[in-house]
Amino acid sequence: MAITSTQSQHPASVANIAVGSYLDTGTVAAFKITTGFQPRYVKVVNETGGHFEEWFEGMEDAEALKCTEDAGTVDIAMITSNGITVAADGFTVGLDTDIHVTSEQLSWIAIG
């Protein structure tokens, strides 16, 4: 049996946190949020549809853990495209059609 484990911490427990919202009333496309730091955790919530996706440090670009709920059925899936991609100064939200929808309110949190 092999165990692989990684963990990283900010010196002196300092963390950066940014929160915000986003609404696109036109033709939606992937968009970048500039936080001024590299996030280690990102959550994007579609408030209108009730769906959300999360990205954790160590995940690949465009991946996310996505949770959707339709007609009382909850579905949690790992997506490998159109998810969240982190950069040194923020993150990009891909064009997942359950999360990023024209005229639906998004809220997000990024922790670095």
Pick 70 or 1 by higher pLDDT. 70
Q: Is residue 12 over pLDDT 60?
A: no
The DSSP annotation for 56-88 comes to ETTPPTTEEEEEEEETTEEEEEEEEEEEEEEET
Give the per-residue pLDDT at 73: 86
Mean pLDDT, the chain, rounded, equals 88
pLDDT mean over 71-75:
85
Q: Is residue 69 over pLDDT 90?
A: no
CA distance 7 to 75: 28
Structure token pair of residue 105: 């309110």
Domain ranges of the chain: 15-111
Task: Please tell me the pTM assigned to this model.
Answer: 0.86
Give the per-residue pLDDT at 10: 56
